Each structure stands twice: as structure tokens, then as C-alpha cells.
Chain A
Amino acid sequence: MSDLRTPEQNYFQSKWWKRKDVKQVMILWIIFTGLIGYFSSKFQVIAMGKPASETMENVISLITTFTWASSPVAGFVAALAIQALSQRRHHGDNPPPEADHNISSSPRATALWLVISALLCLFALVVGLIALQKDDQALLDKNAIHINVTGQQWAWSYDYPGSTGVRSNVLHLPVDQPVVFHVTSKDVKHSFWVVQMGVKIDANPGYITQTVVTPNEIGAFDIRCAELCGLLHAYMQNKVIVESKADYQKWLASQPDTGHTTWTAEGAIE
């Protein structure tokens, strides 16, 4: 070997971070991370609109958190790709000369990559588990009111707690009051989705499933069926009216007793 180092040896043994292409990637990385994180989270926040419950606020913050957490990865891949694309392009029917090196692995880069992706994965998992735990505990809230939801082709009906036997086709909810939904179906599988509140649970014939939410905005929001349930699946949607507690009580009292059900707090089925 001569004393002159090949570019390859330089690459690994001297100050690799001073290489021009490495610097380019670093700068591009920072730019792309910012751009991707900013525009993707903006896109998501605009699309998801105004939340109508804390659950939905959590969903939005979860999604934007994941976006920001993954934007360095996406930014890095984009930086490498753009850097590669901006240099040494060759057109024509014959191949370009072969590359000036034959690096076929780099244990250091691989290890770093694995550690970072494992950490990001762990981060996503921990964030998700904490949010999941919150949702699970909310189901046990002693102050919650219980509403039974029945899906059938192609409408929802709701039975309210208390002894009045009230049944409605448009859901009414009091604001700032935890509600546990006990959901079932009369025919095929449906999925009960209160869109702006960020909750969803399938309605299965023969089973009762639960989900819980506390609406924190007064207004009318959307309920849609999220599982293909036959001919008019697209039209299986309706509004949920969230009103003040007094208005809710007034509405509940004004409804006729249909004699349909005797729902218990545990949501026993009729």
C-alpha cells in the first residue's frame, strides 16, 4: 500500500462529517424535517376540524405527535434521495462508469439506524399505551350516564337511562357529562362512529360492546356507520345534538315513554 489514502479510507478514517455530500444531506435533512412536519401536521389539523370532545383532542394531538416524531425519518430519507438525485445522473442506453467505491455494508450506520428506529417505535408505543389506558379508565367512570345504541339496516336508535323508556333516532347528549355507549346490532355488523368526538365501536349482532366519551362542545355533530352493512350503508348517518344539561333534561322529559326497554347502568340487553 502506498501512503496515499484512497477516498474510501478517507471516508471512514478522517473527518467524514466534513465531506461535501454529508454536509448537503445534513442541511437537506433539517429543511425537510421542518417542512414535512409542519405541512403534514397542518394538513391533518385542518382536515380533522374542530374537536367536540377531549378524546378527539387527544386523537389530534396523537396524530400530530406521530407526524412530528416520524418527520426526521422521512426527512432523512428524503434528504438522501434528493442528494443522490441531484448528483451524478446519467442518461443514455449504456451504463455509467461504476461507482468510485464498493461499500457493501456499514455496521456503524446500521446499528445507529436500528437503535433510532427502535427508540421511535418505543416512543410510539408508550404514547399510544398511555392514551389507551386513559380511554380504558374512562369506561369505569361512576358519574357516567349509560345510553344503549342499536344499529339496524340502516339506522341507529338510542335508549336513554332512567325509567322513562325514551327511545330516539337522533342522539341527544348533555355537555360535559361522561357517556358510556352500549352498542349492539339487530342484523349485521355496523360500526358506531361519533365523528367529531373521535370514538368508534362496532355494533355486533348478539354482543354488546362499550365505548365512552365526554362531549365538551354544544352543537350538532355527525354519527356515521363505518362498516359496510349492505344496500344503504352510505345513508346510515345522523346527527348527535349536544346541549346544556338543563336543555337535555327538558328534552328527555318531553319524550314519550315508548315502553321499549328497562336499561340498567350495566347496559343489560332487553
Chain B
Amino acid sequence: MTTLATKKESKALIERLNVFTAFALGAIAAIVVWRLSLALLPADSESAPLFTREDKITLLSMIAWFIGFMTGIGALIGPFRWLRGKDLTHEENMFYAGKDLGVKRYFRYTTDHKVVGIQYLVITMVIFGIGGILAMLIRTNLGKAEGGWIHPQAYNSIVGTHGIIMIVGTIIMVTGPFGNYIMPIMIGARDMAFPRLNALSFWLIVAAAIPLIWAQFIGGISTGWSAYNPLAGQAPLGMNGYIMFICIFAISTMVAGANITTTVVRMRARGMTWNRTPIFIYGIVASVALALPAFPVFFLSQVMSGMDRALGTSFYNTALGGSGWLYENLFWIMGHPEVYVILIPAVAALMEMAPVFTRRPLFSFNVAVMGIAGISGLSILVWAHHMYMSGWAPLLSAPFMLTTELISIPTGMLFLVLVGTLWRGRLWMTVPTLSIFALLWNFMIGGITGIYLSDVPADAFLHGSMFVTAHFHYTLMGAGLTGAIASLIYWFPKMTGKMINKRLSWIAFWLTQIGFNVAFMGMFFVGLQGQPRRVEAYAEIFSKGNLITTIGAYTIMIGMLILLYAVIDSWKNGQAAPMNPWHAKTLEWTVANPVPLENFEVLPTVTSDAYGYGRSK
């Protein structure tokens, strides 16, 4: 900073930009464009089949917000330099990396992967906090049959917002914090391949959040997270917020995916062959590599949705020549790979921890890699099992049933690796160890109920019921979130330099796991009884199961609040962590706390895999 200041008498532009200028510029841009479009856009003609003026104004203002925010945060400084045939100087790059900036670097366009990792961790927790509050509103409303103290429109909007915000939260919960903070150190690199893209991917998520909040004030997202057309076409202006949110988030995911994939392929330490690359890295790469084909489709599906609303096109409007089934196809071509984008890194993280806490080698590394690859490959061929009952293509039911059920084979491989590693290990009882057991339990239930749903005749009964809701909560929350929380506890010492409070995290673990199983067993029950999803009132026969679910949900909430307290308290006042508290053998434990700016003074050389535990014969 000092070098820059001496160079130019006043503060350089790059030093002035931060999150506050970003919000200010974004807000100004949005207001200006809003006023301009109000004044300049012609009124809808009375004879037009669709009224589009208000949608145009909303979308234009949101795009202006987006451009203003990204300019204000400093995302465009690099590209502008390139336009002028220059690039950032070394001092500017060091400034960008957050050198000597203290806590301020977390509020800037900082390129250091460790800063981005912490930023992701915090935003993930904020997202889960908001999504959790929405979940509690839903469960409270469903506490009794005639519940209904929330207006149906608001209720539908809460359901939709809870859905999309939790999907985004779970997508970033492992690859965001740990993929950014831990992964480069784990492979022995000094940073990501494209540090500026790394900062970009994070700040895009912040930019995306505002349209989603905005949406709540202009009618909400009353369509569920899937936003099926034509329902989305008739939904209030809030849908535009959903569309903008998805488009910006999809760009973020694509950018992060390209960055992480390149980093892992190109920047592993000398000697880290694919056989010696930790399994967690495979999980991260499989996840982002799956996102690379999936999210452009999501992006396009929403662009077309926005055009239907704002430009009067009819991609999805059957009456005008389009098809709602087109939307369903595009949505689920993203939607099914996306669940494995969420799940794979969480399971891989637990596979990474299993040898550490059983003090023996990972059982069948090759099978683990094959399982991850098999799931990734098959998951792009199964999307239409979400559409068995849509009537789109009854003849395709059988082939999609085949591909869907085939996924059970690679999934089984992941189970084999985990139970094989537990077999004859010495269990070091920590929360991550317990999380392995919790994952086995929850993922087993989530996986087997998936087999019922993959079966077309059974799905004719189960589709669209609470059974589906319970099923995917078992996989994404029971398995995915459990893995993410275990990751947080496992890597907390490296990321914060503190040990997490043991007693509190144990209590939080048990409360959330018990609450979770109570809640979603109740939900399975009402689903089998015939309660549809996304309803704000239900028949009397469902009241027992729903009450149980609500009680379970409150238990989860208490557990999560205790965990949150444990994280904040330990981060601030926790006992300082040693360099390698778990006596693990991956590279991230060979660097000091706090991790120096460039991680390694001398880049390490790897001579074996990271699972050399256990006494040899």
C-alpha cells in the first residue's frame, strides 16, 4: 500500500474500491436505469397478448445493479487495463492479494484464495441462516392442519425462496469454503490458477443475492424453486429477481468451475500423480466439472424465461407455440447433475477424513475414484426421471429408469469405501468421525428411497408428494450438510487458527442429527399417506406426521444455533490450534497457522499418497 501511495500522490482507484463503493454504485445505477426506463419505455399496447413493460423495467434495473456493483467492487479494473494494452503491476497484484490489509481484505476484491475461502464460509453460513429461518416459518405454519397464519401467496414465496437459497447454499458449502481455502494448499499450490476469477466468483454471489432479496418486495418467488412455466410466466414481478439471481449465480459457478478444474489439473505439486492426489480433490473436481455443463443450461433456461416475460417471446408458452416441457427438460438437465454437485464433495470430504480418524489407509482409493466418476457420468443421463409423470415422453420412462437405477452401483462404491475404512480401524471419536456414521445412516435412507422414486409405477404414487421432499432432504441435508459441517470442524483449526469448542459441537451434532431424523421420518410418513408437496394447509390425517416434523425441525434449529455459537465463540476466543491437530498426512497440515500469504516458501514434493496409516506387515 505504501509503495502505491508513494508512486501516485493520491490514493489509486484500486485502493478506493470496496464493498461499500460496490453497493453504492450498484444502487445508483439501478435507480438511474429505473427512472430512465420509467420515463422512456413506451406503454404496453392494449391489444398486446402480454403486458411486458413492468418486467422490462425490473429486469433492466436489476442488470444495472449488477453492472454497477461489479464495477464498484473493482472487477473491471483488470479487463480495462488489458483493453489499454497493460496489466496490473506487481505491487497492485500484491495489493489485490490482500497483502498487509488486515481485516479490510475481506471486504474487497481480494484474490488470495484463503480470503475467498473465508468469504465463502461466511456467506454460506449467512445463506443457511436465512434459509433456515424460512424453513422454520414453513414448519411453524404447517404445525397444525389449519395452520395458515401465513398468507398463501407469502407462504408460496417462502417455500420458493427457501428452496433456491438452500440449493445455492448447499452447492457452495463445500467447494466454496474448503475448495477455495484448503484445496490449493492440499495440492501444494501457492494460489488458484486464476486468482482474479476466484474473487470474481465470490463477488458474483454477493451481486446475485440482492435481486433475490429485491424479489421479496415485488411479489416474491411464488413458484417453488423449480419455477415451472407457465406458472412462472403468470407469477408476479418477483420472478425477475429469481431469473437475475440464477443468471448471475450460474456465471459464478461456471467461473469457479473453470478455475478449480484448471488449478487441479495444472498446479498439483511435483510428484502428486493422480494416484497420490487426495480423494477430496477428486470430489471437488467432479463437482465443479459437473457444474460446467449443467449451469450454462440453467442460465439459458432462465434467459428464455426472462425473454418470455419481458420481450413477449413464447419459448415456454404452449398457447403461443412454445412448450412448458422444454423448460422442464432444461431445468432438470441442470437439476439432476446439480444434486451430485452438492453431494459428491461432501462425501469426498468425509472419505478424506475417514483414514485420519480410523488411523488406517483409505480402503480402495481406486474404487472411490471410480464411484465418483461413475456418479458424475451417469448423473447427466438421468434428468427425465423428474418428468415421469409429466406426460412428456412416456416411452422414455424405461430408459431413464435404467440410467437412474444404475447410479446405485457407483453410489454403492462410495459406501464400500467408507465401511471398508471403518472396518478394523481404530476410531478416534470426534465429531467428524460421528459424521461418517451419520452420513452412512442418512445417505442409506436417502439412497434407498431414491430407488422407490426411480421406479415409474411407484413414482406414480410418490411423485410430487412429501415423500420426495423427505428423500432429497435426507440426501442433501442428511448426507451433504453433515459432510459440510464435518469439514468445517475438521478444517476449522487451519482456517481460523483456533480449535472449535468440542463439547458444544458434540451437543450440536446430536441435536441436529436426532432432530433431522425425527423431522424427515415424519415427512416420509405423511408423504406415503398422500400429502402433496408445497401445500400451506392439509387434511386432518396428516396432522400427526406434520407435528412430528415440526418438532424435529425445532430440534434442528436449536442444534444449528448451538453450532453457530460454537463457531463464532471458538473463532474469537478459542484455544490456539497446533499446526496439525489431527495428525493427518495431507499437505494443508504442513503449513503454519496462520497460513502465510503464499502458503509454501518452497513448493513441496510428494512421494506417496496421504493415507499411509497403519502398521505394515
A interface vs B, CB < 8 Å? 6, 8-9, 21, 43-44, 47-49, 55-56, 58-59, 62-63, 66-67, 70, 73-74, 76-78, 80-81, 84-85, 88-91, 93-106, 109-110, 113-114, 117-118, 120-121, 124-125, 127-129, 131-132, 134-136, 183, 187-189, 191, 193, 195-196, 198-202, 204-207, 209-211, 222, 224-235, 237
Task: Choose one: B231, B366, B420, B527; the contact of A230 (CB below 8 Å).
Answer: B231
Q: Complex formed: what's the CA distance from A89 to B429 in Å?
A: 6
CA distance in complex: A145, B533 (Å): 31
Q: Which of B62-77 contact A (CB under 8 A)?
A: none
A209 to B324, CA, bound (A): 14
Flag if B615 contacts A102 (CB, 8 Å).
Answer: yes
Contact of B437 among A44, A81, A101, A228 (CB under 8 A): A81
- Specify which chain A residues have a CB less than 8 angstroms from the CB of B451 in the assembled complex: 66, 70, 124
Residue of B nearest to A44 (CB): B528
The answer to whether residues A77 and B456 also contact, given A117-B412, A125-B405 and a CB cut-off of 8 A, is no
Docked Cα-Cα span, A55 to B463, in Å, equals: 15
Note all chain B residues with C-beta closer than 8 A to A89. 427, 429
Interchain CA distance A85-B438 in the complex, whole Å: 12
Contact A132 B398 (CB under 8 A): yes
In the complex, the answer to whether A225 meets B530 with C-beta atoms within 8 Å is: no
Measured CA separation A232–B231 after assembly (Å): 13
3 closest A-B pairs by CB: A209-B391, A206-B318, A226-B464
User: For chains A and B in complex, what number of residue pairs have CB atoms within 8 angstroms?
Assistant: 289
Q: Give the distance in Å from the alpha carbon of A210 to the alpha carbon of B395 in the complex.
A: 13
The residues of A that contact B533 with a CB separation of less than 8 Å are 226, 228
Q: Which residues of B contact A106 (CB under 8 A)?
A: 363-364, 420
Q: Can you give 11 contacting A-B residue pairs, CB < 8 Å?
A: A48-B461, A66-B452, A80-B419, A98-B360, A99-B426, A101-B360, A132-B397, A198-B460, A200-B460, A201-B391, A204-B391
Q: How many residues of B contact A (CB 8 A)?
A: 94
| A105 cross-chain contacts in B, Cβ below 8 A | 363-367
Contact with A along B515-553 (1 / 0, CB 8 A): 000000000111111101111111100000000000000
Q: Do A191 and B389 contact each other (CB < 8 Å), given the known contacts A89-B427, A98-B426, A114-B409?
A: yes
Q: Does B277 contact A (CB under 8 A)?
A: no
Q: How far is the CB of A83 from chain B (nearest CB, A)?
A: 8
Identify which of A88, A110, A188 contacts B364 (C-beta below 8 A): A110
Known: A80-B422, A105-B364, A198-B461. A99 touches B613 (CB 8 A): yes
Cα–Cα, bound, A209→B5 (Å): 70
B423 x A98 contact (CB < 8 A)? no
**Known contacts A21-B424, A70-B448, A77-B415; is A222 also within 8 Å of B458 by CB?**
no
- Assess the A231–B153 pair: CB atoms within 8 A: yes
CA of A233 to CA of B235 in the docked complex: distance in angstroms? 14
Task: Tell me the bound Cα distance from A93 to B319 in angstroms.
Answer: 67
> Complex Cα distance A127/B455, Å?
9
* CA gap between A125 and B404 in the complex, in Å: 10
Given that A132-B397, A206-B318, A234-B538 are known contacts, is A189 also in contact with B360, CB under 8 Å in the complex? no
Contacts beyond the supplied A96-B426, A196-B530, A202-B390: 20 A-B pairs with Cβ under 8 Å: A48-B461, A59-B458, A73-B412, A81-B437, A81-B441, A99-B425, A102-B613, A103-B360, A104-B361, A104-B611, A109-B416, A120-B408, A125-B405, A131-B457, A132-B457, A134-B457, A188-B231, A206-B318, A209-B390, A222-B530
Residues in B whose Cβ lies below 8 Å from that of A6: 617
Residues of chain B with a CB closer than 8 A to A237's CB: 539
Is B230 interfacial (CB-CB < 8 Å)?
A: yes
Q: Is B234 in contact with chain A by the CB < 8 A criterion?
A: yes
User: How far apart are the CA atoms of A238 and B131 in the complex, in Å?
Assistant: 33
Q: Inside 8 A of B394's CB, which chain A residues have their CB?
A: 136
Contact B363 A104 (CB under 8 A): yes
B473 at the interface (CB under 8 A from A): no
Answer whether A205 and B318 are a contact pair too, CB < 8 Å, given A58-B457, A101-B614, A124-B451.
Answer: yes
**Alpha-carbon separation in the docked complex, A93 to B408 (Å):** 38
Enumerate chain A residues within 8 angstroms of B107, measured Cβ to Cβ: none
Query: Is B401 positioned at the interface, with any CB of A under 8 Å from its CB?
Result: yes
Asked whether A77 and B444 contact (CB < 8 A) given A200-B463, A222-B539, the answer is: yes
Q: Does B4 contact A (CB under 8 A)?
A: no
The answer for the CA separation of A78 and B441 in the assembled complex, in Å, is 8
A96-B428 contact given A191-B389, A230-B234, CB 8 Å threshold: yes
B409 to chain A, nearest CB (A): 5
Kindly report which residue of chain A lies nearest to residue B234, judged by CB atoms. A188
Of residues 351 to 396 in B, which have CB atoms within 8 Å of A's CB atoms?
Answer: 358-367, 389-391, 394
Contact between A85 and B389, CB atoms less than 8 A apart: no
Given A104, A183, A195, A226, which contacts B463 in the complex, CB threshold below 8 Å?
Answer: A226
A88–B360 alpha-carbon span in the complex (Å):
13
B300 within 8 A of A: no
Q: How far is the CA of A49 from the CA of B526 in the complex (A)?
A: 11
Set A91, A98, A228: member contacting B534, Cβ < 8 A? A228
> Which residues of chain A are within 8 angstroms of B156 by Cβ–Cβ distance?
228, 230-231, 233
> Of A135, A206, A226, which one neighbours B457 at CB under 8 angstroms?
A135
| Minimum C-beta distance from A186 to chain B (A) | 10
Is B36 an interface residue when CB atoms closer than 8 A count as contact?
no
- Contact A66:B437 (CB < 8 A) given known A59-B457, A105-B363, A234-B536: no
Q: Can you name the residue of chain B whose Cβ is closest to the Cβ of A59?
A: B461
Q: Which residues 316-372 of B sit at the A interface, judged by CB distance below 8 A?
A: 318-319, 323-325, 358-367
Q: Are B409 and A189 in contact (CB under 8 A)?
A: no
Closest to A235 in B: B537
CA distance A34 to B389 in the complex (A): 34
B415: A residues at CB distance < 8 A:
77
- Would A74 and B448 be within 8 Å (CB), given that A98-B614, A102-B613 are in contact? yes
Q: Given contacts A59-B457, A103-B360, A205-B319, is CB(A84)–CB(B425) below 8 Å?
A: yes
Q: Tell me whether A230 and B448 are in contact (CB under 8 A).
A: no
A residues near B538, Cβ cutoff 8 Å: 234
Q: Roughly how many angstroms separate A204 CA and B222 CA in the complex, as a whole number?
A: 19
Query: By the criterion CB–CB under 8 Å, are A229 and B231 in contact?
Result: yes
Interface centre among A47, A131, A228 (most CB of B within 10 A): A228
Q: Which residues of A contact B419 (CB under 8 A)?
A: 76-77, 80-81, 84
Question: Smallest CB-CB separation from B534: which chain A residue?
Answer: A228
- CB–CB B532/A207 < 8 A: no
List residues 481-531 of chain B with CB under 8 A from any CB of chain A: 524-530
- Cβ 8 A contact of A102, one of B360, B452, B454, B526: B360
- Asked if residues A128 and B456 are in contact (CB atoms below 8 Å), the reply is yes
Docked CA distance A198–B452 (Å): 14
Is the CB of B266 closer than 8 A to any CB of chain A?
no
CB <8 Å contact, B358 and A227: no
Residues of B within 8 A of A88 (CB): 425-427
CB A58 to nearest CB in B, in angstroms, measures: 6
Smallest beta-carbon distance A106→chain B, Å: 7
B428 near A95 (CB under 8 angstroms)?
yes
> Contacts A99-B360, A99-B613, A121-B406 given: A109-B455 contact, CB under 8 Å?
no
For residue B94, CB closer than 8 A to chain A, the reply is no
Q: Quote the shortest CB–CB distance from B163 to chain A (angstroms).
A: 10
- Asked if B360 and A202 make an inter-chain contact with CB atoms under 8 angstroms apart, the answer reads no
Q: How far is the CA of A8 from the CA of B441 in the complex (A)?
A: 29
The answer to whether B460 and A204 have CB atoms under 8 Å apart is no
Q: Point out which of A47, A49, A55 has the most chain B C-beta atoms below 10 A from its C-beta.
A: A47
User: In the complex, which residue of chain B has the Cβ closest to the Cβ of A227?
Assistant: B464
Q: Which of B529, B530, B611 has the most CB of A within 10 A?
A: B530
Q: Which residues of B contact A84 (CB under 8 A)?
A: 419, 422-423, 425, 427
Contact of B424 among A96, A101, A211 (CB under 8 A): A101
Instruction: Among B231, B398, B534, B581, find the residue whose CB has the most chain A CB atoms closer than 10 A.
Output: B231
